Amino acid sequence: MLKPPGKTTSSPFSPRARLRSFLFAGRGLRWLVRDEHNARLHLAASLGVVVAGFWLEISAADWRWLVLAMALVWLAEAFNTAVEGLCDRIHPEFDPAIGRIKDLGAGGVLVASIAAALIGVLTLGPPLLARLF
């Protein structure tokens, strides 16, 4: 039987293969934090939010928003880094179209970061003000 174009045959489910996929994903996150300066800033911000959340004893509903916001930023940063790496690999010399693609990815990270900062202020601000004053 013919396979549709682009369709690859998948191997049967294997717990070992699933574990390997988690190891590969962990390796990707390790590369992200090790190689990307902005990812280290996101890590510091994420740790700061977690510490503040525990210190302020925020509710589970508030944690949901903060986790979502942090995940959004990490996803945007990882995808942007992947796109930039692919662009650099495909077209190493300067190209205005590649530059535009990279700028769009960076803009997506900026939007995610601003949204996360606003969620952080709206979520942590009131209990922080209550605790301080």
Reply yes or no on whether the pLDDT at 19 is more than 60. Answer: yes
- The arithmetic mean of pLDDT across residues 22-28, rounded, is 95
pLDDT tens readout for residues 88-97: 999 999 999 9
pLDDT tens readout for residues 68-90: 999 999 999 999 999 999 999 99
State percent of the chain over pLDDT 70: 93
Burial call 59-86: b when 16+ CB within 10 Å, e when fewer = eeebeebbeebbebbbebbbebbebbee
* pLDDT value of residue 103: 97
- The arithmetic mean of pLDDT across residues 99-122, rounded, is 98
